[in-house]
Structure 1
Amino acid sequence: MRSAWRRSSSPAWTCSSCGGSRGPAEHAQLRAYVGIYGTVLARGRMCLCGMLASDFETLPAAVQQRVSEFFGRSYVWLEGVIDQGVADGRIPAPVSPRATAEALVAGLERAMLVSRPSHGSERFEAIADALLESMGVNSRG
């Protein structure tokens, strides 16, 4: 993942990779971001940084730094997408773009955890859709 951040100032899930998604670019970017988590879960895996964060205090300092960097970069990218959507009137702004970005990541991490026992993606998809819809983003494009 770290190398992907160095290759581009925007993650690989930016609008240009969203295929034929309709609607505002910010909506497509957010749907694609959520899709990364869904794909990881569908493969029977979890977000590594999310899992490491659960035991953050026990990690070596270098690993703590990398985990913090992952979340920090995710928040910055999401905040930029959300901020642009708010500025263009395509995403409502009930709270700050940063708080919205952090809430989205937290919600996705938790959705992965609570979906595992159901051995399917339906619960995750329902939660992810609710997160997007709560941001004014049509979850199905």
Structure 2
Amino acid sequence: MKSAGLARPGGRDDERVTRSVADILDQHLECVMVAIRRLREDEFKACFAEPMADVTATAQAAMDTWPYVDALALDKIGLPYLNDVRHVYRDARNRFDQVLTGTGRFNTLLVIVVDLDRSMVFGHFLLDLNEEYGTSGGPLRSI
């Protein structure tokens, strides 16, 4: 099997760290192969256990959700762009974190559901607050 030589940081030029091509490919595939799963409303609601706790300021991240977010095709799910994470909520049974990310669509949040036991993304859901709470209209305008 072919191998690639990589210089050890801070080492002498003649010190080489060799890793097999398969190891390098495995590392890159971990970053590329992200299973995208759009949750149905019933699946999303099954991730709730009242009371939901706002853990935005105190939670230790179970995992980095940005590779999952980066793998989403925003145009296919109807979002022009994403903003920062707004809130993180944890269900009362400590099964799921819901990472709420602002979007470029008015009153719509991208919710990434993290399975805490498995430290992996369970899926995502677009939470349209207008639809959920029966409000309509555009953004507030100054008077």
TM-score by length of 1: 0.26
**Higher strand proportion (structure 1 or 2):** 2
Please state which structure has a larger fraction of its residues in helix. Answer: 1
TM-score (norm 2): 0.26
Q: Which of structures 1 and 2 has the bigger CA Rg?
A: 2
